[in-house]
Amino acid sequence: MLQNFSIRLARTQLLKRLLVGLLCGGLGAVLEAQDGSIAAKNSEQERQLSSSPGQKGSSASAQESMPGMDHRSPTPNQQDHSSMAGMAMPSMQMTEMNSAGMFLMNLSSGTAMNPAAWPMPMLMRPLGSWNTMFMTQGFINDTQQSGPRGGDKLYSTNWFMANAEHRAGRNGAFQVQLMLSLEPATITDRRYPLLFQTGETAFGKPIVDGQHPHDFIMSLGFQYALSLGENTTLELYFAPVGDPALGPVAYPHRASAMELPQATLSHHWQDSTHIANEVVTVGLAYKKIKLEASGFYGSEPDEFRWDIDSGPINSWSTRLWYFPTKNWAAQVSIGHLAHPEMLQPGDQTRSTASLEYSKPMPGGSWSSSIIWGRDHSTYTKRNLNSYTVESALPIHGKNFVTGRVERVDKDELFDGQPNVQQFLDTFYGSTFRIGGYTIGYTRDFDIFRHIETGIGANIETYSLPGAIKPYYGDHPLGGNVFLRFRLKTGS
């Protein structure tokens, strides 16, 4: 057993070094070469246009058809691609994309989608006949919490995503998506403090009042899209690690949560399957509607965050999207998760619904979400509900005001204290409704040309039943002070 573990660890370390070196080197080269390469292309294009009046009109027409130039369309897959989010790039910089390629480049985590009007903070570059897109965001965060169960910690939450899209025939397109996180290294002791948070394990024990780090490989997926008609697109997705069709856009990638370094208390009720294994999804988009179905391995990631987990496809989900206009995205979904929690018996049936809104404004976009999620346990027979409302509002270009309100039913707060759990269950019940209320502010500073750098802080207050106040205090509080880094929109 020890020999097998050593081999597994050695392979994991080698994989980590190769991926980090390759991706960091590739992104660095892209950033370094961007200014000179774009300038050369622009100069050559201007020379050609000035020497040929007939070509000028053709180039203008091509630019009008590029994503990000016109956001009037409400649908995710029309032939003019005008619903594509955030791709405000000159057409001469990108290899020509068909409708299927535009569809794929508009996806967020897995096959989920933010509102089309949201300007994605990303860098786009052609690489031969491929179109590449890079997104990254990181926080250096100091957390301070009060009460008997509060904690303090300096840590970093972060992620990096790279997409590569290639045309596949006249009406098809293929895309590879890789998403990485260094949180296994930047979050020590396999958790950071977050009062009333539950889910997954650390050192063989359930995590309570803390949030686990994400896996090093958050996503490795392969996607294919085929335009079947002017308003219809077929979508196929396979991911050894990926995001099945269940829940809203996961909080690390959700437009309304981009200024909050900490997870939602509702994470394991709404979007925790954004890192799942053996994901297979089929989707069909028609005008303003997209219907999806997934199969996947239902167990949540184990606490060894550097490797890739695997298992049988034993769970399923289905999701229906509706995009009434470019500013709105709504979904309802349901899924059955086979034995999701390592230390808890039984399966879960998860139901979710969400409505997301995004409106571009100077310096960013005003983005808001309303989310509901419910977990039904086949073992305890309990229905646990969660509700989240969050918003991020830019003010005068460089200032962001953020807020989040949550109400969550928790029955795992005392899993590591069986005597306390039994006492509370006997006299007060097994489930406690927790309220979380967060208000925050971020200020951007022009330090790096291609990086949005912000300094911010937020305060968290909570409401809780009187029965558990002896364990948490009457008025527990949490605070976060952070540095935030991400690629600039349209960089």
- In tens digits, the chain (491 residues) has pLDDT values of 444 444 444 444 544 454 444 344 444 444 444 444 444 444 444 444 444 333 333 333 333 333 333 333 334 434 444 443 334 443 445 678 899 999 999 999 999 999 999 998 889 999 999 999 999 999 999 999 999 999 999 999 999 999 999 999 999 999 999 999 999 999 999 999 999 999 999 999 999 999 999 999 999 999 999 999 999 999 999 999 999 999 999 999 999 999 999 999 999 999 999 999 999 999 999 999 999 999 999 999 999 999 999 999 999 999 999 999 999 999 999 999 999 998 889 999 999 999 999 999 987 899 999 999 999 999 999 999 999 999 999 998 899 999 999 999 999 999 989 999 999 999 999 999 999 999 999 999 989 888 999 999 999 999 999 999 999 999 999 999 999 999 887 65
Dmax over Cα atoms in the chain, in whole Å? 86
Residues 6+ apart with CB under 8 A from 54: none
- Amino acid 489: pLDDT: 72
Question: For residues 444 and 456, what is the distance between their CA atoms, to the nearest angstrom?
Answer: 9
Distance CA 245, CA 393 (A): 28
pLDDT at 462: 98
Write down the pLDDT at residue 491. Answer: 57
Task: For residue 218, give every residue at least 6 positions away whose Cβ sits within 8 Å of its Cβ, in sequence order, or none.
Answer: 159, 179, 180, 181, 241, 274, 275
Question: pLDDT at position 449, please?
Answer: 85
User: What would the two tokens of residue 173 be?
Assistant: 């397109």
Q: CA-CA distance, 187 to 151, in Å (whole number)? A: 14
d(CA 430, CA 418): 12
pTM of the predicted model as reported, rounded to 2 decimal places: 0.83
Average pLDDT, the chain: 85
List of domains in the chain: 65-487 (2.40.160.10)
b (16+ CB within 10 A) / e for 67-86: bbbebebbbbbbebbbbbbb
Q: Which residues, 6 or more positions from 248, have their beta carbon under 8 angstroms from its beta carbon?
A: 112, 254, 270, 271, 331, 352, 354, 356, 369, 371
How many whole angstroms separate alpha carbon 296 and alpha carbon 279? 4
Q: What is the model's pLDDT at position 97?
A: 87
